Amino acid sequence: MKSFVSILLSLTFVAAFACERMPKEKKGAPAPAEGQTTAPKEAAGPKALKVEFYVMSQCPYGVEVENAVKPVLDKIGNLIDFKLDYIVNPLPDGSFKSLHGQPEVDGNIVQLCANKYAPEKFWAFLGCQNKNMRDVHNNWKACAEQNGLDVAKLQACKEGQEGKDLLKASGERAQAAKAGGSPTIVVNGKPYAGGRSTNGFMRAFCEQLPAPKPAPCADIKPPPVVNIVFVTDSRCKECAKFERGLEQVKRMVAGAVVKKVDYTTEEGKKIYDEAKLTMLPALLADENLKKDEEAYPRLARFATPAGSWLMLKAFPQVFDPKGEICDNTTDDNGDNLIDCADPTCRFNAACMEICDNKTDDNKNGKIDCDEPDCAFDFACRKEVPNTLELFVMSQCPYGVKAFDAMKEVLKNFGNKIDFKVYFIADKVGTGFNALHGQPEVDENIRELCAMKNYAKDFKYMEYIWCRNPQIHNPDWKGCAKDGIDPAVIEACFNGEEGKKLLEDSLLVAKMSKVGGSPTWIANGKNKFSGIDAETVKTEFCKYNDKVYAAECKNTLTKNTQMPAGGGCGAK
C-alpha cells in the first residue's frame, strides 16, 4: 500500500517523533519580522551555522529538542544563528488554530514575547515553562518572576495585538519552511536527520562548522558501531524501492555500517533463518543499536527481536522467498500450481485484470468487465440506488469516527440503507499487512466475522461501536455481548473463514482503487470523504433524496473538531 510505505519511510526515519502534521502549508517566504527568536542574540555571523527549529509549545517532542539543544548553544552558540518559530494556522477572524488548542496558542505567544523583551533570559524562561509544558498558558507568570522578566510588559504583549502579530509572523515563517510536524529542524537550509540528543546535535553541528573547529567539538562522544543488514531478494521487483530508506538509516544511526544481502546467497539464507524471517525485505540491526544513546530511543518502538537481531519495521514486507513467484512460469512453492493459478498470486499485479483495456491481462479467457473481480472497478461499477459503502482501517482514528457517525445515520434512515463495509490493507503472500500493524489486521478480521454472522439490522455495528472507544485494547470479548457470541467470532477468526473474508474485502478496496480511510461510495459510483453524520447524510442524499425526502431534511451532528477530509493512508 503506497500510503503505508510513504508514511513509514518518511516519518519513521526522518521524524520518528513529531506531533501530528498540520493542514497544507501556504506558499511564499515572508521576510523575517521583529521578534523572531534568536539565541544567543549575538550568534549571527558571516560563517555562522544557520539552525531553525519549528515547534509547538505543548508538543513533547518539540520540548525535548529544545532542552537538548540548549547545552549546545551554551558551548558553541556564538557560531550558530539559531531561530525558533511556532507551527500554527491563522484563522480569518485573527485568531489561531494549533494542534493542542488555545492553551498552546497562548504558550506560543508568551514565548515569543519573552524572547522579544528579554532575549538574554529567554532560555531560562523557556526551560522553566518546559518543566510543565501542558501548563504553558498558566505557568508563564511564575516563570517570568522566577527569572527576572518584566511580568507587566510580558502580559501586555501576550494579551494585546503585539503578541498576535508576533505569532502570525512566526507561523508564516513555519509555513514558508513547510514545517508541518513539531519539531521540524532545518540546518543550513536542509532538513535535519541527525540525533536529537545533546551529543547528537553537538556532533551534527560541529561536522558542518568550518575549520578551525571550536574546542568543545573535540569532546564529542563517538557513536557505537552498529551493523545493519538489508535482506532482500533479487527476484523481488518491489523490494528495490525500499532501499532508499538505507540512506536515512545512515543519517539517523551515526555509527551505522550498512550492508545489503540477497536471500539467494548462502549468507542471505543464513541471516534469514537466524532472524526467523518469513517475508522480505527486512532491515536488521545488531544488538549494538541498543547502545546508541541517540538513535535507539527514537527507533525503539520500531525495533522488535528477531533471533539474534533487531528487526526495524521500516517498510512492509512484500515478498515470500519460499513462495510462488507469479510471473516466471515456474512452480516455485511445489504445490503443482504455476503463476496465476496459485491462489497466493490473486493480488499480484501480474495476475490482476486491468478492467478497461480490452485485453485479457490475466489470461483466464475473460476480458475487462467480464472478469468477476472487475465488478468493483469504477470502469465496471453500476449505479445502484440506496447503497452506501464504507472503506476503512479499523484502527484509524478517522475510520473510527466514520463508524461512530453511522450510528446516527442508520437511525435517521431507519436502518433501511444497503450499507456495506470493506477494509483497507495489503495481502502479502499468505498473510496481511495493515497500516497500524498486526493488531489492526486481527481487528479487521474480527469485525468481518461479526458482519458475516450478525448482519440482520446491522447487529454487528454494536460490536464495532463498543470497540471504538478502546480500539487498541486487545481484550475484544467484552464487546461480543447482547446476542453476539464471542465463541462464534473466535471460531471464524481462528479458521480459514476469517482470512478469506478479509481477502475478499481487501480485493474490493483494491479494485475500487481506494487507499484512504475513511472513503465512502454512494450508489456504487459516487466517492466522497467525511467523518461526521451530517456529511455522510448530505452526500448520500445527493443521490437518494427522492426516496428519503423526509430523512434528508433532518440535521445530524456535524463534527467540527477534525477536518472533513481527514483520513489514514492515500486518498
Concatenated DSSP letters for 64-126? HHHHHHHHHHHHHGGGEEEEEEE--EE-TTS-EE-TT-HHHHHHHHHHHHHHHH-GGGHHHHH
Whether residues 160 and 73 share a domain: the answer is yes
Angstrom CA distances, 486 to 477, 491, 570, stand at 6, 9, 33
Looking at residue 43, what is its pLDDT?
37
Tell me: the pLDDT tens digits for 85-123?
Answer: 999 999 999 999 999 999 999 999 999 999 999 999 999
Query: Would you place residue 41 in the very low, low, confident or very high pLDDT band (cuts 50, 70, 90)?
Result: very low
Q: What percent of the chain has pLDDT over 90?
A: 68
pLDDT per residue as tens digits for the range 262-289: 999 999 999 999 999 988 999 999 999 9
Better pLDDT: 24 or 514 = 514
User: Quick check: is 46 in a domain?
Assistant: yes
Residues 403 and 450 in one domain: yes
pLDDT at 289: 96
| Strand spans (E) along 179-294 | 184-187, 190-191, 226-232, 256-262, 282-285
Residue 12 has a pLDDT of 40
Predicted confidence at residue 169, as pLDDT, reads 97
Angle of helix 496-511 relative to helix 438-453, nearest 10 degrees, comes to 100
Angle between helices 486-494 and 496-511 (to 10 degrees): 80
Inter-axis angle of helices 438-453 and 486-494, to 10 degrees?
A: 120
How do beta strands 80-86 and 49-55 pair?
parallel
Residue 266's domain spans which residues?
226-312
Q: Would you say residue 249 has pLDDT above 90?
A: no
pLDDT value of position 37: 42
- In this structure, of 342-351, 384-393, 428-437, 532-541, the range with the lowest mean pLDDT score is 342-351
Task: Check residue 101 and give its pLDDT.
Answer: 93
In a shared domain, residues 511 and 483: yes
Q: Which segment of 145-149, 347-351, 481-485 scores lowest on mean pLDDT?
A: 347-351
State the pLDDT at residue 126: 98
> Within this chain, do residues 214 and 268 fall inside the same structural domain, yes or no?
no
Task: Check whether residue 285 and residue 200 sit in a common domain.
Answer: no
Query: Does residue 382 lie in a domain region?
Result: no
* Residue-level pLDDT at 569: 76
* pLDDT for 39 beyond 80: no
User: What is the phi/psi pair of residue 260, to 5°?
Assistant: -100, 130
Cell 476469517 sits on residue:
498
Residue 77 is assigned to a structural domain of this protein: yes
**CA-closest candidate to residue 222, choices 285, 298, 293:** 293
Percent of the chain with pLDDT over 70: 90
How many domains does the chain contain in total?
A: 3
Whether residue 545 sits in one domain with residue 484? yes
- Cα distance between residue 424 and residue 505, in whole Å: 8
Going by pLDDT thresholds of 50, 70 and 90, the confidence category of residue 19 is: confident
pLDDT band at 357 (very low <50, low <70, confident <90, very high): confident
Q: Which of 64-73, 195-204, 244-253, 469-478 is the least confident region?
A: 244-253
**pLDDT band (50, 70, 90) for residue 24:** very low
Residue 348 lies in a domain: no
Q: How far is residue 73's CA from residue 219's CA, in Å, rounded to a whole number? A: 15
Does residue 394 form part of some domain?
Answer: yes
**Is residue 258 one of the residues assigned to a domain?**
yes
Q: Is the pLDDT of residue 143 over 90?
A: yes
User: What is the per-residue pLDDT for 516?
Assistant: 93
Instruction: From 255, 285, 312, give the residue that closes a domain.
Output: 312
For the chain, the average pLDDT equals 88
Nearest partner of 511 among 341, 339, 403, 362, judged by Cα:
362
Domain CATH code at residue 150: 3.40.30.10
Reduced to 3 DSSP states, what percent helix, strand and coil does the chain have, rounded to the nearest 5?
Answer: 45, 15, 40
- Identify the CA nearest to 90 among candidates 180, 171, 178: 171
pTM across the whole model: 0.57
Task: Report yes or no: 405 and 520 within 8 Å, Cβ to Cβ.
Answer: no
pLDDT at position 344: 76
Indicate if the pLDDT at residue 530 is higher than 90.
Answer: yes
Q: Does position 145 have pLDDT exceeding 50, yes or no?
A: yes
pLDDT at 326 over 90: no
